[in-house]
Structure 1
Amino acid sequence: MEFNVKKLASDAGVFFSRAMQFTEEKLGQAEKTELDAHFENLLARADCTKNWTEKILRQTEVLLQPNPSARVEEFLYEKLDRKVPSRVTNGELLAQYMTEAANDFGPGTPYGKTLIKVGETQRRLGAAEREFIRSASISFLTPLRNFLEGDWRTISKERRILQNRRLDLDACKARLKKAKAAEAKAAAVPDFQETRPRNYVLSASASALWSDEVEKAEHELRLTQTEFDRQAEVTRLLLEGISSTHVNHLRCLHEFVESQTNYYAQCYQFMLDLQKQLGRFSGTFVGNAESASPAAAASPPVAAATLPAVPTIPVVPTIVGVPNTVAEGVLNPNEVKPPASGTRRARVLYDYEAADSTELALLADEMITVYSLPGMDPDWLIGERGNQKGKVPVTYLELLS
């Protein structure tokens, strides 16, 4: 118990000494040991790294999970060391609703069929989003959190210790300075020894006493200076490790970009496939036969039915000698020749990536020449751009008069 009391009194004395030194420095009444410029730059760089890492981490979390309540729930599960429950993505939830709606409307109806197709694509988008979130969390968020919760806490701890060592060092310098001033003052008193011999005796003992205080203060200063130098070196090594942290975060950033690129590429491909399916089976978008006139009901569905605002393109009568490969869906561009009449100009509405060599890749807003051949799917036309030729989907075009 006695040892604990002494230790407590010693700790209180050290705390009081540091508090006084810190207060006097703030008031400009005490000198402060300044760190060298290189060390100050390392401190500033570390603080900058910590601040921006926190901001990037928080905003990436918002990007991956925009719902704040969901983020709080995931945070609590992590702090409690419990597994985060699997969460349905918005795309998967939309797919579920579309499938249920298709079952109610009738999966065989045009609307029901389209709902099923779109719902399946939304489910694939939701699964891709889930995989992207998982990959980004492992490759990018986890290293950032590890730095803030591991390396940065160690750096902060050592910086606090260094700050305390500096306050102790400056306090020792102040005590030594006061002891030397008192020793010099006591040494000046013997000038009065002839008139006041007793004062001389007192001043001599006081001078010896202050000499002992000076030696004691110098000894404490040497010890404190050694501890400060040792702690400064430890802290400097940790701060220089920030460069390695930047290298590690750079690698993680590349992995994050790769995950995001794969995710958006998958989304683009899924939507492109869906768009092709909807364009290829565009006849399902024709209104109910009950509401159509007898003449309209008797006529076969054509590509223009999907886009009422787009003028229909005349179909050239069957021409003897046209290769049957066109009717079979296989096109050899070298064998196809435009008809004498029936060609039209068209503006491309969206970018289109050719699925094979029989199709023509398109760029939005470009102008091409289009025409139809006997036996072709009404949802497709032959497009020409200079010497390039191939099939193009009607839904990607605006036919010009």
Structure 2
Amino acid sequence: MDLKKLAGQAGQFLTRAVQYTEERIGNAEKTELDQNFETLSQQADSARVWTEKLVNGAEAVLIPNPGNRMEDMIFEKIEKRRPNRLSNLEYLGLDMVQAGNNYGPGTPYGSALVRVGGAEQRLGLAERELVSNAGQGFVQPMRRFLDTEMKTIAREKRLLETKRLDLDACKNRLRKARSMDGQSPAQSDLRKAQADFDRQAEITKLLLEGVRSCQAAHLRHLNEMVEAQATYYKQCHNVMVDLQKELASVPFNPSAAGAFDNSVPVFQINDEEIDLKSPSSP
């Protein structure tokens, strides 16, 4: 273990803490970045916030169950894939098919249940394809943008703030130096701190400027999600139109299905029958 290195790092940390504290209470000057840099930084922060909202909103639409979203996230972290679960529509379709077979596929109701159940399963499969396609085309690349570019920018901005604190601490020491012997090393430290700060500011600025160029890729991802949704809704429409045609061809035999008795009920009060159809009935 390099004790000198550790002592130096501890000294730097303490110096930065003192500088930060003095700035907060107004006893030390702070180097300000130019307006163009500040504008780029604000735009990057705005892009991060809105991208997070868009990604979270898209995930909530594609996978409404928050428990399933959490499960997917864990599986992706551990096994690099999502669990292959059936959709609610597919579960409903399975129940309908089983119920239709139980009633008897030769009966009108049983036949209809089997047909509707098959349609629900196809809708569920289309829904899973939408989740997969929209996830790969929009959610995942936008999430990667947050996890790579935006995290890199955040890290470099923190490093820039550290370099700024070192620079201002050097400026403060130079102002407090009373003798030439004290000013000489302070000036040397200041030149090095200024060079480090300028280099880090330029690196950070280049990264911030790159955020604008990402919008073209984001537009492409957005189009891919729209395409996935258009395909999904078209599939759903076709499934439902076909289902309506199939149900229209199912024969409905009231007697076989247990039709309701349309005769007017007769009530009996005190051994007297009352026909509700009779106009003299009370």
Normalised TM-score (structure 1): 0.63
* Partners of 2:14 and 2:244 in 1: CA distance: 75
* Partners of 2:95 and 2:220 in 1: CA distance: 40
Secondary structure of 1:288's counterpart equals helix
Partner of 2:157: 159
Pick from 186, 205, 212 the counterpart of residue 217 of structure 1: 186
Partner of 2:254: 287
Whether 1:243 and 2:212 are equivalent positions in the alignment is: yes
* Partners of 1:36 and 1:162 in 2: CA distance: 14
- Partner amino acid, structure 2, of 1:241: G
Question: CA contact under 8 A between 2:163 and 2:193: conserved in structure 1?
Answer: yes
1:234-283 Cα deviation digits (max 9, x unpaired): 0000011101222211110011011111101111121112122223x25x
Instruction: Return the offset for 1:135.
Output: 0.3
* Partners of 2:80 and 2:133 in 1: CA distance: 20
Pick from 224, 245, 249 the counterpart of residue 255 of structure 1: 224
Partner of 1:68: 66
* Partners of 1:246 and 1:81 in 2: CA distance: 31
1:315-351 Cα deviation digits (max 9, x unpaired): xxxxxxxxxxxxxxxxxxxxxxxxxxxxxxxxxxxxx
1:80/1:278 Cα in 2 relative to 1: closer, same or farther (>3 Å)?
A: same
1:166-187 Cα deviation digits (max 9, x unpaired): 00010111111111xx2xxxxx
* Partners of 1:93 and 1:275 in 2: CA distance: 21
Instruction: Return the offset for 1:290.
Output: 7.7
1:290/1:243 Cα in 2 relative to 1: closer, same or farther (>3 Å)?
A: closer
* Partners of 1:218 and 1:64 in 2: CA distance: 59
Structure of greater Rg: 1
* Partners of 1:291 and 1:248 in 2: CA distance: 61
- Partner amino acid, structure 2, of 1:56: L
1:2-401 to structure 2, matched below 5 A, reads: 4-179=2-177, 182=178, 210-279=179-248, 281=249, 284-289=251-256
1:64-99 Cα deviation digits (max 9, x unpaired): 111111111111111113543310011111110011
Question: CA contact under 8 A between 2:108 and 2:257: conserved in structure 1?
Answer: no
* Partners of 2:79 and 2:47 in 1: CA distance: 28
Structure 2: 5+ residue stretches without partners: 261-282
* Partners of 1:145 and 1:38 in 2: CA distance: 27
* Partners of 1:159 and 1:289 in 2: CA distance: 76
Secondary structure of 2:31's counterpart equals coil
Structure (1 or 2) with the greater helix fraction: 2
* Partners of 1:35 and 1:290 in 2: CA distance: 81
Question: CA contact under 8 A between 2:126 and 2:235: conserved in structure 1?
Answer: yes
1:296-330 Cα deviation digits (max 9, x unpaired): xxxxxxxxxxxxxxxxxxxxxxxxxxxxxxxxxxx
Instruction: Return the offset for 1:29.
Output: 1.1
1:285/1:17 Cα in 2 relative to 1: closer, same or farther (>3 Å)?
A: same
Secondary structure of 1:285's counterpart equals coil
Instruction: Return the offset for 1:217.
Output: 1.2
Instruction: Return the offset for 1:288.
Output: 2.4
* Partners of 2:46 and 2:231 in 1: CA distance: 31
Instruction: Return the offset for 1:285.
Output: 3.1
Normalised TM-score (structure 2): 0.88
1:39/1:274 Cα in 2 relative to 1: closer, same or farther (>3 Å)?
A: same
Structure 1: 5+ residue stretches without partners: 183-209, 294-401
Instruction: Return the offset for 1:153.
Output: 1.6
Tell me the matched-pair count.
Answer: 260
- Partner amino acid, structure 1, of 2:57: Q
